Protein backbone atom coordinates (compact mmCIF):
# COMPACT_ATOMS: atom_id res chain seq x y z
CA UNK A 1 0.00 0.00 0.00
CA UNK A 2 2.82 2.38 0.90
CA UNK A 3 4.52 1.64 -2.42
CA UNK A 4 1.31 2.32 -4.37
CA UNK A 5 0.79 5.59 -2.51
CA UNK A 6 4.41 6.58 -3.14
CA UNK A 7 4.09 5.82 -6.87
CA UNK A 8 0.85 7.81 -7.04
CA UNK A 9 2.50 10.83 -5.40
CA UNK A 10 5.51 10.54 -7.73
CA UNK A 11 3.17 10.36 -10.73
CA UNK A 12 1.38 13.49 -9.53
CA UNK A 13 4.67 15.36 -9.22
CA UNK A 14 5.75 14.28 -12.71
CA UNK A 15 2.40 15.32 -14.19
CA UNK A 16 2.69 18.75 -12.58
CA UNK A 17 6.31 19.19 -13.68
CA UNK A 18 5.89 18.34 -17.39
CA UNK A 19 4.19 21.64 -18.43
CA UNK A 20 6.80 23.69 -16.57
CA UNK A 21 9.63 21.72 -18.13
CA UNK A 22 8.10 22.15 -21.58
CA UNK A 23 7.88 25.93 -21.09
CA UNK A 24 11.47 25.97 -19.79
CA UNK A 25 12.75 24.18 -22.90
CA UNK A 26 10.84 26.51 -25.24
CA UNK A 27 12.14 29.56 -23.36
CA UNK A 28 15.68 28.24 -23.71
CA UNK A 29 15.22 27.78 -27.45
CA UNK A 30 13.82 31.29 -27.82
CA UNK A 31 16.77 32.74 -25.92
CA UNK A 32 19.20 30.70 -27.99
CA UNK A 33 17.72 31.97 -31.26
CA UNK A 34 17.49 35.59 -30.05
CA UNK A 35 21.07 35.58 -28.79
CA UNK A 36 22.21 34.07 -32.11
CA UNK A 37 20.63 36.96 -34.01
CA UNK A 38 21.97 39.58 -31.60
CA UNK A 39 25.47 38.13 -31.94
CA UNK A 40 25.15 38.09 -35.72
CA UNK A 41 24.05 41.73 -35.80
CA UNK A 42 26.99 42.63 -33.57
CA UNK A 43 29.29 40.76 -35.93
CA UNK A 44 27.85 42.66 -38.91
CA UNK A 45 28.67 45.94 -37.18
CA UNK A 46 32.21 44.85 -36.33
CA UNK A 47 32.79 43.55 -39.87
CA UNK A 48 31.61 46.87 -41.34
CA UNK A 49 34.04 48.83 -39.16
CA UNK A 50 36.96 46.48 -39.79
CA UNK A 51 36.38 46.27 -43.53
CA UNK A 52 35.62 49.99 -43.79
CA UNK A 53 32.63 49.21 -45.99
CA UNK A 54 28.94 48.48 -45.66
CA UNK A 55 27.87 45.06 -44.39
CA UNK A 56 24.26 43.98 -44.75
CA UNK A 57 22.37 41.79 -42.30
CA UNK A 58 19.47 40.26 -44.22
CA UNK A 59 16.54 38.01 -43.28
CA UNK A 60 15.03 35.53 -45.74
CA UNK A 61 12.78 32.47 -45.88
CA UNK A 62 14.37 30.05 -48.30
CA UNK A 63 17.60 28.09 -47.89
CA UNK A 64 19.62 27.50 -51.04
CA UNK A 65 22.26 24.84 -51.69
CA UNK A 66 25.02 26.77 -53.45
CA UNK A 67 28.51 28.10 -53.03
CA UNK A 68 28.86 31.08 -50.71
CA UNK A 69 29.04 33.78 -53.37
CA UNK A 70 26.19 32.32 -55.45
CA UNK A 71 24.24 32.01 -52.21
CA UNK A 72 24.80 35.67 -51.41
CA UNK A 73 23.53 36.72 -54.85
CA UNK A 74 20.44 34.50 -54.71
CA UNK A 75 19.05 35.66 -51.35
CA UNK A 76 15.71 37.44 -51.53
CA UNK A 77 15.03 39.66 -48.52
CA UNK A 78 11.88 38.81 -46.56
CA UNK A 79 10.76 40.78 -43.51
CA UNK A 80 10.56 38.42 -40.56
CA UNK A 81 12.44 35.66 -42.38
CA UNK A 82 13.61 32.72 -40.29
CA UNK A 83 17.10 32.64 -41.83
CA UNK A 84 19.77 35.34 -41.68
CA UNK A 85 22.92 36.15 -43.56
CA UNK A 86 25.69 38.73 -43.63
CA UNK A 87 26.95 39.94 -46.99
CA UNK A 88 28.99 42.71 -48.57
CA UNK A 89 28.83 44.23 -52.05
CA UNK A 90 31.72 45.26 -54.27
CA UNK A 91 31.87 48.25 -56.60
CA UNK A 92 30.32 46.19 -59.40
CA UNK A 93 27.28 45.33 -57.30
CA UNK A 94 28.27 41.72 -56.66
CA UNK A 95 27.44 40.29 -53.24
CA UNK A 96 29.84 38.23 -51.15
CA UNK A 97 28.64 36.12 -48.22
CA UNK A 98 30.22 36.39 -44.77
CA UNK A 99 28.02 34.11 -42.66
CA UNK A 100 24.51 32.65 -42.35
CA UNK A 101 22.36 31.25 -39.56
CA UNK A 102 18.79 30.22 -38.83
CA UNK A 103 16.32 30.64 -35.98
CA UNK A 104 15.50 26.96 -36.56
CA UNK A 105 18.90 26.10 -35.08
CA UNK A 106 17.19 26.26 -31.70
CA UNK A 107 14.74 23.51 -32.73
CA UNK A 108 15.17 19.77 -33.37
CA UNK A 109 14.20 20.37 -37.02
CA UNK A 110 17.30 22.49 -37.59
CA UNK A 111 19.45 19.86 -39.29
CA UNK A 112 16.85 18.88 -41.90
CA UNK A 113 15.87 22.49 -42.55
CA UNK A 114 19.42 23.79 -42.72
CA UNK A 115 20.58 21.09 -45.13
CA UNK A 116 17.68 21.14 -47.57
CA UNK A 117 16.47 23.35 -50.39
CA UNK A 118 13.02 23.99 -48.97
CA UNK A 119 10.72 26.73 -47.82
CA UNK A 120 10.64 27.25 -44.04
CA UNK A 121 6.81 27.26 -44.25
CA UNK A 122 6.99 23.50 -44.77
CA UNK A 123 8.17 23.04 -41.19
CA UNK A 124 6.33 25.85 -39.42
CA UNK A 125 3.66 23.44 -38.22
CA UNK A 126 6.17 21.95 -35.79
CA UNK A 127 5.28 22.37 -32.13
CA UNK A 128 8.86 23.33 -31.27
CA UNK A 129 9.76 25.77 -34.03
CA UNK A 130 10.81 29.26 -32.95
CA UNK A 131 9.70 32.17 -35.12
CA UNK A 132 11.45 35.49 -35.71
CA UNK A 133 9.05 38.20 -36.87
CA UNK A 134 9.76 41.75 -38.01
CA UNK A 135 8.68 44.43 -40.47
CA UNK A 136 12.34 44.94 -41.41
CA UNK A 137 14.09 42.68 -43.93
CA UNK A 138 17.63 44.05 -43.61
CA UNK A 139 19.97 46.18 -41.53
CA UNK A 140 22.95 47.78 -43.24
CA UNK A 141 25.90 48.86 -41.10
CA UNK A 142 28.29 51.46 -42.49
CA UNK A 143 32.01 51.89 -41.83
CA UNK A 144 31.24 53.94 -38.70
CA UNK A 145 29.12 51.16 -37.21
CA UNK A 146 25.80 52.98 -37.66
CA UNK A 147 22.70 51.36 -39.18
CA UNK A 148 22.41 53.53 -42.27
CA UNK A 149 19.05 52.22 -43.49
CA UNK A 150 17.18 52.62 -40.18
CA UNK A 151 15.41 55.86 -39.25
CA UNK A 152 15.05 55.11 -35.53
CA UNK A 153 14.90 51.48 -34.28
CA UNK A 154 14.40 48.10 -35.95
CA UNK A 155 12.89 45.26 -33.91
CA UNK A 156 12.91 41.47 -34.29
CA UNK A 157 10.45 39.51 -32.15
CA UNK A 158 11.19 35.92 -31.11
CA UNK A 159 8.15 33.82 -30.27
CA UNK A 160 7.07 30.21 -30.12
CA UNK A 161 4.98 29.40 -33.20
CA UNK A 162 1.39 29.27 -31.94
CA UNK A 163 -1.11 29.21 -34.84
CA UNK A 164 -3.97 28.01 -32.60
CA UNK A 165 -3.31 30.68 -29.96
CA UNK A 166 -2.96 28.16 -27.16
CA UNK A 167 -2.58 29.78 -23.68
CA UNK A 168 0.32 27.46 -22.85
CA UNK A 169 2.33 28.93 -25.72
CA UNK A 170 1.45 32.62 -25.34
CA UNK A 171 4.04 35.23 -24.48
CA UNK A 172 4.37 36.29 -20.85
CA UNK A 173 3.03 39.80 -21.56
CA UNK A 174 -0.21 38.07 -22.65
CA UNK A 175 -0.38 36.05 -19.41
CA UNK A 176 1.31 33.00 -20.92
CA UNK A 177 4.40 31.16 -19.62
CA UNK A 178 6.63 31.78 -22.64
CA UNK A 179 9.29 34.49 -22.33
CA UNK A 180 9.22 35.93 -25.82
CA UNK A 181 12.24 38.12 -26.53
CA UNK A 182 13.06 41.11 -28.75
CA UNK A 183 16.25 42.13 -30.52
CA UNK A 184 16.49 45.83 -31.35
CA UNK A 185 18.91 47.81 -33.49
CA UNK A 186 19.11 51.59 -33.21
CA UNK A 187 20.07 53.93 -36.04
CA UNK A 188 23.37 54.43 -34.19
CA UNK A 189 24.04 50.70 -34.57
CA UNK A 190 23.44 49.65 -30.96
CA UNK A 191 22.18 46.05 -30.73
CA UNK A 192 20.15 45.06 -27.69
CA UNK A 193 18.32 41.94 -26.44
CA UNK A 194 15.33 42.66 -24.19
CA UNK A 195 12.17 41.13 -22.70
CA UNK A 196 8.84 42.83 -23.65
CA UNK A 197 7.16 41.34 -20.57
CA UNK A 198 9.39 43.27 -18.14
CA UNK A 199 7.67 46.47 -17.00
CA UNK A 200 9.96 47.83 -14.27
CA UNK A 201 11.84 50.83 -15.61
CA UNK A 202 14.90 50.03 -13.50
CA UNK A 203 15.15 46.48 -14.88
CA UNK A 204 17.87 46.22 -17.53
CA UNK A 205 15.84 43.57 -19.36
CA UNK A 206 13.06 46.05 -20.13
CA UNK A 207 12.53 46.92 -23.80
Q: What is the per-residue pLDDT for 194?
A: 95
Query: Are the CB atoms for 105 and 84 separated by under 8 Å?
Result: no
pLDDT digits (tens, 9 = 90+) for 82-102: 788 899 988 888 888 888 887
Mean pLDDT value of segment 55-79:
74
pLDDT digits (tens, 9 = 90+) for 2-15: 777 777 776 666 55
Closest listed residue to residue 59, CA positions, set 132, 151, 149: 132
DSSP 3-state percent helix, strand, coil across the chain (nearest 5): 35, 25, 35
How are beta strands 95-102 and 83-89 bridged, if at all?
A: antiparallel
Query: Are the CB atoms for 103 and 37 separated by under 8 Å?
Result: yes
Query: Are the CB atoms for 137 and 78 separated by under 8 Å?
Result: yes
Mean pLDDT value of segment 188-206:
93
Q: What is the per-residue pLDDT for 119?
A: 39
Residue 3 has a CB neighbour count (10 Å cut-off) of: 7
What is the C-alpha to C-alpha distance for residues 40 and 59, in angstroms, rounded to an integer? 11
Residue 189 has a CB neighbour count (10 Å cut-off) of: 21
Mean pLDDT value of segment 147-166:
89
Query: Are the CB atoms for 148 and 54 separated by under 8 Å?
Result: yes
For residue 100, what are the CA distances in angstroms to 43, 63, 140, 166? 11, 10, 15, 32
Indicate the pLDDT class of residue 171, thresholds 50, 70 and 90.
very high
Query: Are the CB atoms for 152 and 186 separated by under 8 Å?
Result: yes
172-187 burial, b at 16+ Cβ within 10 Å, e below that, comes to: beeebbbbbbbbbbee
Amino acid sequence: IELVIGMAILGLFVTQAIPSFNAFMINQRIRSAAEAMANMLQRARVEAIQRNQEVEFITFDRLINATDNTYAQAITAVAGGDHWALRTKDSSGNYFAIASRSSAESSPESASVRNSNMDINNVRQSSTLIRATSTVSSVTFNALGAASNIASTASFEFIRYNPNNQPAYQCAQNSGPIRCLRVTVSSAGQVRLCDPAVAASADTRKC
